[in-house]
Structure 1
Amino acid sequence: MEEALYDEVVAKRLKKQKVTREWIGHMARVIFACQQSDTMGPSGFVASPHWVTGFMRRYGLSLRRRTNLTSLTDEVLVTRAISYMNYRQSAIPDMDFDRTVLMDERAVYFEDARNQSVDLIGSRHVVVRSTGFASMRITAVLAVSRKLPPLLIWKGKSTPTFDKIGGVYVAQQPRAWVDSNLLKRWIDLVFPMVDPSKGKHLVWDLMRAHISKEVKAKCAAREVKMCVIPGGLTPYLQAGDIGIYKSFKDLLYMEINAWKESDKVEYTRFGNPRMPSVGTVCQWIRSAWRDTDSSTVKNSVAAAGFAENWMDWHIARHDVYGAQFREQWEARDENQEEDGFNLDELHDALDDIALIDE
């Protein structure tokens, strides 16, 4: 009976449908009743919560929090990944890796967004109160190949130039986010006009501002070719999502939390905390990016498709999509048209984060 129930659980999860403990108990009773009607054996099995716990333990099952990564089917995701990697591999001979930049931007909230906390075993209510910092947010722009200086986007009236504070570039934008005008200034900063070298490439995701007409025109003027990661694939093909940004954000949150627990926080007359100064945040960002291990950056870039051996790519080693990707990559037609990749047909995908330090 348990083996049949386990097969039902696996079949439901392969369809990406939710499986609950209550559903396991219900299906256990249904399967048991069907089997007992065939054998005329004794009844009375209730599939109690204790039994469900034991069944899950015996078959290596546990309750897992839903991951919000992509709504693509496995087949569509792998097909897009194959198409993109074919396209990207065809561009590598023309790439100057010293002038190839992997860029992303990410919002950083001062209120810890994680919804887990250590508490006593058996606690029924785990209440985590707001610390008053929920509305505080900055955006960090990080770019690698080598570590480039970070860009901090601060909420305020847009300015025509970037300031530089403590090795960190600072821009102001009304929503503290990137738009086409800000990106054009950033491209001028990273790819200056005085550099006539060939082989410049920019690898980033399909956020709308990245593929706007103005940004495309700016890249063309700077002779920078764009490699745009398809929507829904950034967790598997973008270096930041693979490893860099978790390390960076963990270090940055240590700085933020130390400040929140210190006596340096200033408050309004209504008792609400004030944002720290731009200089303070720049210092945090610079320290977090400096302390992000260079080997983490290097390995993440390699896993994003820059390793010579494709078996070292993150998508090829992924526990869910790896086997299907490897099979299709090995079987792909070597003579297929390499650039069958139409950006306009792909959906937008919003990712986040980015930082840099020389």
Structure 2
Amino acid sequence: MVRGNVRARRAKISQKKRRQWSAREKLMVIAYYEQGYSKRSTAAKFEIEPKQLRDWLKNKDQLMIVAPYIQKLVKGARPKYQQLETELIEWFRDSRRQLKTISRYMIQAKACSLAKKPLYQRVYPDIREAKFSQNWVDGFMYRNNLVNRKKTTIARRLPDDYIEQQNQFLSYVLFRRTEHQYPLSLIANMDETPMAFNLPSNTTLEHRGTKSVAILSTGHERANFTVVLACMANGEKLPPVIIFNLVNIPREDFPDGVIVRANPNGWMNEEEMTWWIENIWTQRAKQGSNPRSLLVLDSFSVHKTDAIKRRFHRKNTDLAIIPGGLTSRLQPIDVSLNKSFKAKMRHLYDHWMNEAIKEYTPSGKIKRPSYSLVANWVKESWDAIDTNLIIRSFKCCGVSNAMDGTEDDLIFNFNKVQKINNKGRGIEANDEIHEESSNSDYEPDDNGSDDSDNSGCESDDDYYNKNENRNVLQDWN
């Protein structure tokens, strides 16, 4: 019995020993010992080994001068490329003094750039083979007491009856797929994404304990434009469309593969939607015909006008309208693609803010990036989206899963999509984990005038008939 108690006490001490004690906690233990208690009784009181107490007493002078949260006085072995890291941390501090955003990726890229200097190649002959991996970035941040800081966001609240609504939506999609047997190349999703010319990241590396974290911006927060993204369930991407808040399209050299439009409001309206159907959506089939297709759209009122429904009907397109407030669960682009797309856009913006020589307005503001530069960012960001991520997003939303039920485990399994989105802790991992719904500005009429009363029970046939009225029109002539 006594032996068992000793084993339990040793196990408890071992577990206590494994945890890291801060400098403040260590000084608290030392203060208790200095009240006249023995080392053994003090160690038993705080469930530590006597050797730990001896080490803390030995380093008491250092513990008195370090920050209270410090857990280790010795941060390990010296860095392999000491001089390079010294210049790198100076670059970091100088950038942060200018309120520039610094990410893990930028630290890694800057280290690779510094490694090409002849000075460091003479001092460190093996630096040519250095890869400066994510583990190296972890060590650099730990050695220099850097952490990733970000602002908090409030997630949108789902409707109270969201489970019933999402089940009805998925039932309608399954009904349509069973009826028409669409191939994955003809199941699509389109979404309008509001963007701003001022795209600072919400996160930056900063020294631990910094009270205020500011980020430099151009000051053009209200200068907005719209990006229209569309993709197919097989991973194919349709050309992105940019709608600028202009009367005419600017005379600049825009990249191929991006369509530029202009209207006085800078967002999607019925005229722009009609243009998108005729010029982008009709290209979904290479043969130039209009094969039977399924298009998932959110509840933006422009998507539900009679004229738009008729035009989609002429293109042999069945619409599946996502119930208002559920785009964060049922719209593939909104579930994960927008987050990855915007993260890449912010990375390009941050690089431009840090590296490019910028012009200033007469009032002293940084001139916003040109329309052609933004178009290049949109193209590069959209091209960088992983095809596998698109395929998984459709399955995660329950839109393209196998109809025999073998892929039902993927529905609402956001973890699998997140792993694809953040693999390698690249650019996407530096963005917010919970992005606000990107089409919040596009849902002024979530409920719609043509939604019927949901009270009482309804049969499957009643539901499908109701959605026929909501998604397509019956009388076309």
Range class of TM-score, shorter chain: 0.5 to 0.7
CA offset digits 1:14-71 (Å, max 9, x no partner): xxxxxxxxxxxxxxxxxxxxxxxxxxxxxxxxxxxxxxxxxxxxxxxxxx95633235
CA distance change for structure 1 residues 261 and 121 in 2, over 3 Å: closer, same or farther?
closer
What is the rounded CA distance, in whole Å, between the counterparts of 2:468 and 2:360 in structure 1? Answer: 47
What is the rounded CA distance, in whole Å, between the counterparts of 2:468 and 2:299 in structure 1? Answer: 8
Give the greater-gyration-radius structure (CA).
2
Q: 1:68 aligns with which of 147, 155, 158?
A: 155
Q: 1:102 aligns with which of 165, 189, 205?
A: 189
Is contact 1:311-1:317 (8 Å) kept?
no
Counterparts of 1:172-211 in structure 2, within 5 Å, are 172-192=262-282, 195-211=288-304
Q: State the match for 2:460 in structure 1.
A: 336
Q: How much does 1:292 deviate?
A: 1.3
CA distance change for structure 1 residues 134 and 197 in 2, over 3 Å: closer, same or farther?
closer
CA offset digits 1:139-173 (Å, max 9, x no partner): 111110111111111111167xxx97421011112
What is the rounded CA distance, in whole Å, between the counterparts of 1:253 and 1:285 in structure 2? Answer: 11
What is the rounded CA distance, in whole Å, between the counterparts of 2:213 and 2:198 in structure 1? Answer: 17
Is contact 2:254-2:372 (8 Å) kept?
no
CA offset digits 1:153-212 (Å, max 9, x no partner): 1111167xxx97421011112121111100100000134398444312221100111112
Larger mean Cα displacement after TM superposition, 180-189 or 107-116 = 107-116
CA offset digits 1:123-147 (Å, max 9, x no partner): 4444446542323322111110111
Q: State the match for 2:231 in structure 1.
A: 144
Higher RCO structure, 1 or 2 (CA under 8 Å, sep 6+): 1
Larger mean Cα displacement after TM superposition, 118-127 or 85-94 = 118-127
What is the rounded CA distance, in whole Å, between the counterparts of 1:282 and 1:149 in structure 2? Answer: 12
What is the rounded CA distance, in whole Å, between the counterparts of 1:120 and 1:164 in structure 2? Answer: 40
Is contact 2:219-2:366 (8 Å) kept?
yes
Q: 2:409 aligns with which of 281, 290, 311?
A: 311
CA distance change for structure 1 residues 303 and 169 in 2, over 3 Å: closer, same or farther?
same
Q: 2:166 aligns with which of 68, 81, 91?
A: 81
Counterparts of 1:146-161 in structure 2, within 5 Å, are 146-157=236-247
Is contact 1:83-1:341 (8 Å) kept?
no
What is the rounded CA distance, in whole Å, between the counterparts of 2:469 and 2:208 in structure 1? Answer: 51
What is the rounded CA distance, in whole Å, between the counterparts of 1:316 and 1:79 in structure 2? Answer: 19
CA distance change for structure 1 residues 130 and 277 in 2, over 3 Å: closer, same or farther?
closer
What CA RMSD, in Å, does the superposition of the two structures yield over aligned residues? 3.1
Question: Which segments of 5 or more consecutive residues in structure 2 lack a partner in the other structure?
Answer: 1-150, 417-456, 472-477
Larger mean Cα displacement after TM superposition, 296-305 or 64-73 = 64-73
Q: State the match for 1:295 in structure 2.
A: 388
What is the rounded CA distance, in whole Å, between the counterparts of 2:355 and 2:174 in structure 1? Answer: 49
Instruction: Work out whether 1:271 is the aligned partner of 2:271.
Output: no
CA distance change for structure 1 residues 304 and 233 in 2, over 3 Å: closer, same or farther?
same
Is contact 2:200-2:215 (8 Å) kept?
no
Instruction: Specify the code of the residue in structure 2 equivalent to 1:262.
Output: E
Question: Which segments of 5 or more consecutive residues in structure 1 lack a partner in the other structure?
Answer: 1-63, 319-332, 347-358
Q: 1:227 aligns with which of 320, 325, 331?
A: 320
Larger mean Cα displacement after TM superposition, 143-152 or 92-101 = 92-101
Q: State the match for 1:261 in structure 2.
A: 354
Q: State the match for 2:68 in structure 1.
A: none
Is contact 1:251-1:292 (8 Å) kept?
no
Q: 1:282 aligns with which of 359, 375, 381?
A: 375
CA distance change for structure 1 residues 99 and 286 in 2, over 3 Å: closer, same or farther?
same
SS of structure 2 residue aligned to 1:140? strand
CA distance change for structure 1 residues 129 and 286 in 2, over 3 Å: closer, same or farther?
closer
CA offset digits 1:189-247 (Å, max 9, x no partner): 13439844431222110011111222112212222211111111111111012211111
CA offset digits 1:297-336 (Å, max 9, x no partner): 1111221211222221117989xxxxxxxxxxxxxx9x73
CA distance change for structure 1 residues 224 and 153 in 2, over 3 Å: closer, same or farther?
same
Q: 2:177 aligns with which of 92, 95, 98?
A: 92
Q: State the match for 1:169 in structure 2.
A: 259
Q: How much does 1:248 deviate?
A: 1.3
What is the rounded CA distance, in whole Å, between the counterparts of 2:292 and 2:352 in structure 1? Answer: 43
Larger mean Cα displacement after TM superposition, 214-223 or 182-191 = 214-223
Q: How much does 1:344 deviate?
A: 8.4
SS of structure 1 residue aligned to 2:308? helix
CA distance change for structure 1 residues 126 and 340 in 2, over 3 Å: closer, same or farther?
farther
SS of structure 2 residue aligned to 1:232? coil
What is the rounded CA distance, in whole Å, between the counterparts of 2:215 and 2:371 in structure 1? Answer: 28
CA distance change for structure 1 residues 187 and 266 in 2, over 3 Å: closer, same or farther?
same
What is the rounded CA distance, in whole Å, between the counterparts of 2:394 and 2:276 in structure 1? Answer: 21
CA distance change for structure 1 residues 168 and 130 in 2, over 3 Å: closer, same or farther?
closer
What is the rounded CA distance, in whole Å, between the counterparts of 2:213 and 2:375 in structure 1? Answer: 34
